[in-house]
Amino acid sequence: MISKKLQRARDFEKKYIPYVEEELPKFHVTGGIGWINDPNGFSAYKDEYHLFYQYYPYDVKWGPMHWGHVKTKDFIKWERIPVAMAPDQDYDKDGVFSGSAVEMPDGRHLLMYTGVRNVRRRNGKLESFQTQCIAIGDGVNYKKYDGNPVIRGDQVPDNGSVNDFRDPKIWMEDGIYYAVIGNRAEDDSGTILLYQSKDAVNWEFVSHLASCHNQYGKMWECPDFFSLDDKHVILTSPQEMKSLGLEFHPGNANVCLIGTYDRDIHHLMRENVQAIDYGLDFYAPQTLLAKDGRRIMIGWMQNWETSGSHLQNQRFLGQMTIPRELHIKDGRLFQNPVRELENYRTIKTAYKNVLISGESTLPGISGRYIDMTITIRPGNESVMYKWFKINVARDGECHTSIRFKPETNLMRVDRTQSGLPCDIVHMRDFPVYPRNGQIKLRLIMDRYSLEIFVNDGEQAASFVIYTPLDAKYINFISDGSVLIDVEKYDLEID
Ligand code: FRU
């Protein structure tokens, strides 16, 4: 039996998405209509990959959360499936918040999420109670478990908050279910709680896997935990971060903790802490283990601070990043677009050793659906260039610029002139690390986004650009002389 709320959301999607389809990015996931935030339930199920997301179909702003649903075979072409869950139970009446999914040994698909129930206090304030719940289904329809919630507030240890207790990431190992859950600890900052269960219904607390101790922001949202190459990794999205140099920007940030997992005390021994993505629009990423062993991450390509920004009459807001393959190299997180993207490359335009001094354009180098790699090196070893800039999504009025300064090794991405009609933060600086005096940038563009991968995935930076689609030109400008190689492919996704 489908609840009225779920049926209403399904009918709404069916009625309106066909009208919006033409306006959507071609290979980045959106809700089709309305608002989305975090990726949820990113999982291998049967012979496909499923992705759910925080979803409010009825407006382009956050509202009572549902779980929207898509699936794919190759991470590039996605198929829409009707909304999976609505906030239709007493324990989740104020939101089916973020969570994850796993294939059960008996072939069913298990979703684990945070149910939110707000209670109005005598002083008029709303208090939000967050518990962990499950739903089981077949890849299309899901039934919430009658005994929900399966992890209640009284199972939060050590005076942790019952109001900030959310975003379970579940996985299975040697027949046991594990889940990491974000929590606000007694010291008011984030901690990640590890639980285990034999049946996904009865859960016991295991350990504090990692804690913030007020070092990286406050509440840690949307934790993920996995082994990668010979290390273990935690991804989390801290709220109320203070900027830490150019590594972590203030506000809603993203953090990757890399280290060794001490299985005796179930704790991550940290060896390196870094940003996951250096762009303006990235939050709450989630990973899955693909059938061929790849660890693949997808993130919300937006941020709470930037999420009020869109075009007039826009009928969808929020999109996901391109799924990215993760690795650890020299103690750092590397990420590159899934290799399946290459199957959608069409026309190739390539140049080698082009000398840029001042402003140039190159025939065939333009577009808003492109996969383009540019290698940048000095044109003259004895007089170093001052800066080199690429302007993309350009016409007479708009552009977004990517500028590199060799003296400071700083990359600056500036979308102030990208056409967004709001004065939010539009610019980000981040340090990059040239190799043999060269910087390599891979740019992925899909209508309203620009994702940059530096030096074969050593860093990634994601940006939303709501620039009119006829602004598709690209130029190169330098102060001093620069040599570049360019390899550009148009992308064709039908
Ligand atoms: C992160 C987050 C989660 C929560 C969800 C609600 O962006 O705040 O912690 O579950 O969004 O939509």
In sequence order, which residues have a C-beta less than 8 Å from that of residue 119 and are 6 or more positions away?
126, 127, 129
Does residue 221 line the site of ligand 1, with CB under 6 A? yes
Does residue 307 line the site of ligand 1, with CB under 6 A? no
DSSP state of 12: H
Q: Which of 54, 133, 164, 192 to mutate to test the pocket of ligand 1 (most atoms within 8 A of CB)?
A: 54
Does residue 67 line the site of ligand 1, with CB under 6 A? no
**Predicted pLDDT of residue 139:** 98
Residue 468 CB coordination number (10 Å): 14
* Ligand 1 closest atom vs CA 182: 9
Q: In DSSP terms, which residues pair with 458 in a beta bridge? A: none
CA of 83 to the centre of ligand 1 (A): 18
Does residue 222 line the site of ligand 1, with CB under 6 A? yes
CA of 117 to the centre of ligand 1 (A): 14
pTM of the prediction?
A: 0.97
Collect the ranges in the chain with pLDDT lower than 70.
none
Q: Which of 216, 159, 169 is nearest to 194 (CA)?
A: 169
**Predicted pLDDT of residue 494:** 81
Residues 49, 340: contact at Cβ < 8 Å?
Answer: no
Q: Which of 35, 36, 38 to mutate to test the pocket of ligand 1 (most atoms within 8 A of CB)?
A: 38
Residue 92 DSSP SS3:
helix
How many residues comprise the chain? 494
CA of 55 to the centre of ligand 1 (A): 11
Does residue 132 line the site of ligand 1, with CB under 6 A? no
* Ligand 1 closest atom vs CA 116: 10
CA of 221 to the centre of ligand 1 (A): 7
Q: Among this protein's residues, is 38 annotated catalytic?
A: yes
* Ligand 1 closest atom vs CA 222: 9
Does residue 65 line the site of ligand 1, with CB under 6 A? yes
The encoded tokens of residue 364 equal 């065939």
pLDDT in tens, 451-481: 999 999 999 999 999 999 999 999 999 999 9
DSSP state of 22: G
**Predicted pLDDT of residue 412:** 98
**Predicted pLDDT of residue 423:** 87
* Ligand 1 closest atom vs CA 98: 10
Does residue 114 line the site of ligand 1, with CB under 6 A? yes
Residues 227, 242: contact at Cβ < 8 Å?
Answer: no
* Ligand 1 closest atom vs CA 283: 7
Q: Which of 35, 40, 98 to mutate to test the pocket of ligand 1 (most atoms within 8 A of CB)?
A: 98
Q: Which of 38, 88, 167, 281 is catalytic?
A: 38
* CA-angle at 190, arms to 269 and 460, nearest 5°: 70
CA of 219 to the centre of ligand 1 (A): 11
State the Cα–Cα distance between residues 17 and 5, nearest whole angstrom: 18
